Amino acid sequence: MPTSPAASSTLSDDLSRLHDRAVEAYQAGRFDEVQALANRILEHNAAHVGALHLQGLLALAAGHAEAARTSLERAIQIHPAPVFYNTLYAIQLRLGDFTGALDSLRQGLAIDPDFAALHYNLALTLQHHDCLEDAAVSYRRTLELDPDNSAAHNNLGRIRGDLGAFDEAERHYRRALELTPANLIARNNLAMVLLATGRYAEAWPYFEDRWISFRHADGRPAREPVRVPLPRWAGEGLGVGIDQPTGRVAYRNLLVLDEQGFGDSLQFVRYLPLLLERFPRVGYVCPPALRRLYEQSLCARWPGLKLLDAVPVELNDWDCYCPLMSLPMAFDTQVNTIPAGRPYLHADSKQAAVWRARLDALPTRRLPRVGIVWAGGHSGLAVDRLRSLTFGQIAPLLTLPHIHWISLQKTDDPSKLATPTACPDPNQNANPHPLTDWSADLTDFADTAALIANLDLVISVDTSVAHLAAAMGKPVWLLNRFAGCWRWLQGRDDSPWYASLRLFTQPRRGDWGDVLTRVATALQQRFANAATPLQNPR
């Protein structure tokens, strides 16, 4: 018997109420209840698009992306609503279907050009795939439709900063924070702009939220700042004798926590000796690869410094703590007060002598020795793609005459290594311009420092070896990406952090060709008389 119009209307109302309850349960995170309600709806109406949509959302949340796609494609077939395309986009991204995801967003926008969430997700996806100009257009359209979207302001600010428009980036970050003061990503991004433009005093408090951008080596977010259950030291008592009253608790033993990468440690351990002017004892949780170098360079000179392999289980020996990269703020560091006097790291003389003997035994011993690093580590990080060159890009530089190139390249990615033909037997003179690669013998930074001690120059992308060589006072030419890391500032070819460092910065995003041309010219000028190398053979 056919259903009467009245009964049909009642059923529709009932299903609508069930759907409303299911949406409310979904928003509250009661997924089991959502599943039960969606099943009840679909038992009565297998073409109920709202229930199909919820079914797809549940499958996506459970990690069943293919099942989620089936549900959303069915819903769209019945009723192609923009919100369904938005969910299908998320599913396709999870499946790695970038082209399909973009197509879904554009199909949704063809139905409703004023759907702000679709514009935002289009911008976000384009930004993630480095299509910055197109992403900026979509973020601006998002903000036309939703001017109080804090995340869109932050992300557009990031794009403008990556393109070198720091004033505009700052405006967007500040607007993002006006709208959402707890937007820690915007606070960190604002810190980067302020630091890059030399406004350190204003920047350091925002820099305290840097942990929000921390990533493990594989690219996963670290999520939490480094800390221990001790009072946090923030610079109290600096410039005052230890036994003199300061109006604050007199801390005596300070524990410094390591954070981020090797380059960050190499740059900021310069503050550890300064801490010993305030504290009788300073402990530093030291990465294993740096320990021997710091023992030779720092502990041998400052016995009050203790290196630790890990945060102690028992903290009774320590009165307070400070993260390593909070030390510049604790010391109220300004650009003109950066402690950048004499070199603070050095190689062990016996180890350096071993490398000197190996180099002097080569047929190229009278040529200038130039260390080279063309790629960073941590290939899982997005910034690594911007700062690194391929070996194919750097190879033409190695054909310059009268230079002996020494590879300092260590990497987690075999594709970044030199091609075998570029590293001939250094004891043979078949190739007049060899790249000597002894990197397999470099087990830690103390070994690398000993080799660097015998070089005339180090040329490196923005990675830890550049910090090591510069901290040793060795001449360093840094191959710097456009709108690069905050620590190199903007509009400079020198660095207030390292007296011996020279910057060769991309004039345009991605333009390594111009950088390498300028480096080649500078090399020819520096070593015009290659018959008289800077390192005299012994």
Per-residue pLDDT tens for 119-137? 999 999 999 999 999 999 9
What are 148-182's pLDDT values in tens digits?
A: 999 999 999 999 999 999 999 999 999 999 999 99
> Are residues 258 and 189 both part of a single domain?
no
Give the pairing of strands 501-505 and 404-407.
unpaired
Instruction: Tell whether 538 is covered by a domain.
Output: no
Q: Are residues 197 and 257 in the same domain?
A: no
Asked if residue 536 is part of any domain, the answer here is no
In a domain, 71, yes or no: yes
Domain assignment present for residue 202? The answer is yes
Are 497 and 469 spatial neighbours (Cβ–Cβ below 8 Å)?
A: no
Q: Which residue has the higher pLDDT, 383 or 534?
A: 383
Residue where a domain stops, chosen among 210, 234, 269: 210
Nearest to 338 by CA among 505, 210, 499: 499
Q: How far apart are CA 410 and CA 356, in angstroms?
A: 20
- Same domain for 171 and 232, yes or no, is no
Burial class (CB in 10 A: 0-12, 13-18, 19+), 482: middle
Q: 61 lies in which domain range?
A: 9-210
| Beta strand segments in 159-291, E | 253-257, 281-285
Q: Is residue 457 over pLDDT 80?
A: yes
Query: Rounded to an integer, what distance in angstroms lies between the CA atom of residue 201 and that of residue 252?
Result: 27
Q: Are residues 59 and 122 in the same domain?
A: yes
pLDDT at position 10, please?
61
Domain termination site, one of 210, 244, 279: 210
Examine the domain organization and report whether 518 and 428 are in the same domain: yes
Residue 532 pLDDT level (bands cut at 50, 70, 90): very low
Query: What is the total count of domains within the chain?
Result: 3
- CA distances, 166 to each of 133, 328, 384, 497 (Å): 15, 23, 21, 21
Mean pLDDT of 68-83: 97
pLDDT computed for residue 421 by the predictor = 58
325-349 residue pLDDT tens: 999 999 999 999 999 989 999 999 9
For the CA atoms of 45, 49, 53, 59, what is the dihedral angle to 10 degrees?
A: 40
What pLDDT sits at residue 279? 95
Asked if 205 and 220 sit in the same domain, the reply is: no
Going by pLDDT thresholds of 50, 70 and 90, the confidence category of residue 379 is: low
Q: CATH number of the domain that 435 lies in?
A: 3.40.50.2000
The number of CA neighbours under 13 Å toward the Cβ of 176 is 24
pLDDT of amino acid 31: 95
Question: Quick one: average pLDDT of 74-103?
Answer: 96
**Is residue 407 one of the residues assigned to a domain?**
yes
Q: How confident is the model at residue 528 (pLDDT cuts 50, 70, 90)?
A: confident
Q: Which of 446, 270, 337, 229 is nearest to 284 (CA)?
A: 270
Q: What is the pLDDT of residue 365?
A: 86
Query: 67 and 52 in one domain?
Result: yes
Distance CA 417, CA 377 (A): 11
Which residues are registered as beta bridge partners of 451?
Answer: none
Q: Is the pLDDT of residue 311 over 80?
A: yes
142 and 246 together in one domain = no
* Residue pair 257/281 in contact by the 8 Å Cβ criterion: no
- Looking at 177, 210, 243, which one is the last position of a domain? 210
Phi, psi of 425 (to 5 degrees): -60, 115
Residue 388 C-alpha from the chain's centroid: 13
Question: Per the domain annotation, does 182 fall within a domain?
Answer: yes
Q: What is the pLDDT of residue 420?
A: 63
Mean of per-residue pLDDT scores for the chain: 90
Residue 172 and residue 293 share a domain? no
Q: Are 328 and 408 contained in the same domain?
A: no
Share of the chain above pLDDT 90, in %: 80
Is 531 among the domain residues? no
Please report whether residue 178 resides in a domain.
yes
Query: Tens digits of per-residue pLDDT, 275-310?
Result: 999 999 999 999 999 999 999 999 999 999 999 999
534: pLDDT confidence band, cut at 50, 70 and 90? very low
What pLDDT score does 412 carry? 72
List b or e across 390-399, with b for residues whose CB sees 16 or more CB atoms inside 10 angstroms. ebeebbebbe
Burial class (CB in 10 A: 0-12, 13-18, 19+), 235: middle
pLDDT for the residue numbered 247: 43
Cα–Cα dist 57/88, whole Å: 9
What pLDDT score does 12 carry?
65
The answer to whether residues 225 and 204 belong to one domain is no
Contacts of 445 (CB under 8 A, 6+ apart): 262, 266, 289, 290, 292, 293, 464, 468
pLDDT tens digits, one per residue of 180-225: 999 999 999 999 999 999 999 999 999 999 999 877 656 667 667 8
- The answer to whether residues 448 and 471 belong to one domain is yes
CATH number of 61's domain: 1.25.40.10
- The pLDDT value recorded for residue 193 is 98
- Confidence band of 14 (pLDDT split at 50, 70, 90): confident
